[in-house]
Structure 1
Amino acid sequence: MSDSFYQYLMTERNSEGVDPIAQFANNAFYDQAFPKQSKDFDTISKYLEENAPYLPSMTIFDEAWERYQARR
């Protein structure tokens, strides 16, 4: 069984990174309500649009999702 998107995203964490995906991962780590078990694009996208002020652009999520899909 493949990892959830959140599990993948945590592999992108870098506390000193300037890469937007690393910053997204760092912030998602502290987001207690992030849908950590989800593998569903629509569920995660909706959550981020409604609840993630730390994500300046959904294109960052889209790029992270593409990387996630490539690793599955």
Structure 2
Amino acid sequence: MSPAERQRRRRARQRAGRRVIRVEVDEAATEDALTRLGYLSPLRTDDPKEVERALAALIDRACEAVTRDAADI
């Protein structure tokens, strides 16, 4: 990917209120948790993009739940 494309993608994320955060996690524990919670198929644990998608979905759902609960206070 060219530097210009990376910059376009970064700006698009900023406009959408999104950001990329690198986090070190225990691989097996994360895959197990995502699988048990239904975010990741056991057949897809070897696909890094699927694990990334599943983890992002879990984080998004957790943030929505916290925001929703805070609005009820």
What TM-score does the superposition give when structure 2 sets the normalisation length? Answer: 0.28
Q: Flag the structure with more relative contact order, 1 or 2, with Cα contacts below 8 A and sequence separation at least 6.
A: 1
What TM-score does the superposition give when structure 1 sets the normalisation length? Answer: 0.29
Which structure is larger by alpha-carbon Rg, 1 or 2? Answer: 2
Structure with the higher helix share, 1 or 2:
2
